[in-house]
Chain A
Amino acid sequence: MIEFDDVSFRHQNGVMALREINLKIATNTLTAIVGENGAGKTTLVRHINGLLKPYQGKVLVFGEDTKKQSVAKLSRKVGIVFQNPDHQLFSDTVENEILFGLRNFGIEEKHDRLEWALEFFDLSRYRNVSPMLLSGGEKKRLCFACVLAWDPDVLILDEPTVGQDYKHKEKIVSMINNLLQKGKTVIIVSHDLEFLWPQQPRTLVMSQGKIIADGNIAEALSDDSVIKQANLVRPQLLALAIALGLKPPSNVKEAAKVLAR
């Protein structure tokens, strides 16, 4: 369980990035956080692994106050895959990049974890290549591989689909399902509402440091004023359902079934 209790956060320049956030995220659930650029989404998730500490209020992760724990200890439980891979990658080879976290956390079966991560993320052929020589999409997959390798309980994915083609987006979906089956808690920050829609996550809409809507994705995106305020555009199947007065279908097959009647 992750709990935000009346959390506010102020940047050093005085800008309030989070305003009185109250939030509970249950273990083994999928949560999406959406909203305009600069709404506070990334600031919010960085409170979960203790990278940022609240200016006011408190954040509890599995019952423990993040202010009383080190980032090193928290990040064993909470892994963040950052939006920009260049902020995360620094080793001389892909293999060492993945091993870095495994060594730091003293994980015994590190070689098995390494092989699994290379294989799953389609990176085996780059094992001895410098991360800096990978394409943008490949770098992003390497970031997934590094974090998933140490098997944290909570996975935070910040804009996971940027630069990913169709095939790799499908792969991210199967990775998320796989994590949920293993009992993990997954939080996705994303502008890619079409990617989120078929997964029907609980969705938090943020704007100007506040959560302005919270519920199943169809509910959270139902209000026109929320869409406008958070600079969103509805996923196509939801827009279609609203235009035709139907119950929102979660995928194309379902939509076709309803429309064929």
Chain B
Amino acid sequence: MLMQALKVEDYTFSYLDTKNPALIDVNLEIAKGEIVVLAGPSGCGKSTLLKSIVGLIPHMYSGSWSGKVIVDGAEVSKTKISELAKKVGFVFQNPENQIFMFSVERDIAFGLENLALPKDEMRQRVDEALSLLNLKNLADRAPHELSDGQKQRTALAGVLAMKPSILILDEPTSLLDPHTAHEVIGTVQKLNKNLGITVIIVEHRLDLVSIIASRLVIMDNGRIVANDAPKKVYNNSEALKAVGMPIMASLHKELGGIGEPPLSVDEFVSVLKIRND
């Protein structure tokens, strides 16, 4: 079995009629089962990279490129977008841009209907997605009757029913209240653990997501400037300049930076207590 979910190799892309490439010499490998957080300032190339993974580039946007993007063994430029849609699931920032059917259940089935799956298999996949995301009791509800967290879970369920090998989340929590945001992040972690699905999350708030990430990738000006375990990246002040240093890492540094930087308040407090004992 292929152990690699994504391989981006010496990849450079320029949009049509632009002078500067949006991505320059990007190299990135993601193993199956990883949770990778992708961060970087506006215009750093994150969106272009995501579009190149889901196949919108080069199939829908014109431009020139060199190098390769390989998703689950398939080279994106040589694979039909309908084939890629089975491999990569995409959850948007605003679930309202994604869910639109009359009921939660029908919404989850929508993607499967487009794949023209047999009815039995559709039923089974919808049921699985409903139970994975704890939506069984809401199956008949209309999307507008749902809370924002439930809407985002419905969007996730619709994407997971397609059984993608990679799940991409583009700022999935920015419209949610803090508690619901943590809940959605917890759900993503659970899905990763139980299904082994590979996850790429784009997020500005590193504080919220670093704790579940196996890797943190930071982009700036079309290039990858850091790509390592979150704690290693938290020690790389230069790369963090582009995204702002997370609060606990910044406090750790301010206090002399001895040992590994903590990813959360709880971790900071427990390290402090051990040290004081």
Contacts and interface: CB of A to CB of B under 8 A. Distances in A.
B150 to A, nearest CB: 10
B265 interface: yes
A35 B177 contact: yes
Interface in A136-183: 136-138, 159, 162-170
B259 to A, nearest CB: 14
B207 A236 contact: yes
Contact of A165 (B41, B265, B272): B41
B247 A166 contact: no
Contacts of A193: 178
8 contacts: A162-B174, A193-B178, A194-B207, A231-B177, A231-B178, A240-B268, A252-B251, A256-B255
B41 A191 contact: no
A82 B179 CA distance: 23
A20 to B, nearest CB: 23
Interface string B237-251: 000001110011011
A256 B254 contact: yes
A76 B268 CA distance: 48
A244 B271 CA distance: 12
A230 B244 CA distance: 28
A170 B175 CA distance: 20
A138 B207 contact: no
A164 B269 CA distance: 30
Interface in B183-213: 204-205, 207
| Interface residues of A, dominant DSSP | helix
B178 A233 contact: yes
A228 B269 CA distance: 22
Nearest to B206: A166
B254 A239 contact: no
Interface residues of A, number: 38
B221 to A, nearest CB: 13
Interface of A: 35-38, 135-138, 159, 162-170, 191-194, 230-233, 236-237, 239-240, 243-244, 252-253, 255-256, 259-260
Contacts, number: 92
B247 A168 contact: no
Contact of A167 (B41, B182, B247): B41
A253 B205 CA distance: 20
B269 A243 contact: yes
B238 to A, nearest CB: 14
Given A135-B42, A163-B171, A236-B265, A191 B93 contact: no
B265 A239 contact: yes
B176 interface: yes
A259 B177 CA distance: 30
B205 A168 contact: no
B147 interface: yes
B3 to A, nearest CB: 33
A260 to B, nearest CB: 6
Given A137-B42, A166-B242, A166-B244, 5 more contacts: A159-B175, A191-B175, A191-B178, A252-B247, A256-B255
Contact of A37 (B174, B177, B207, B250): B177
Contacts of A165: 40-42, 204, 243
Given A167-B41, A231-B177, A243-B265, A37 B272 contact: no
Contacts of B181: 191, 233
Contact of A232 (B93, B178, B268): B178
Nearest to A256: B254
B72 interface: no
A244 B266 CA distance: 11
Nearest to A159: B175
B216 to A, nearest CB: 14
Nearest to A231: B179
B180 interface: yes
A36 B178 CA distance: 8
A37 B152 CA distance: 13
A237 B148 contact: no
B265 A240 contact: yes
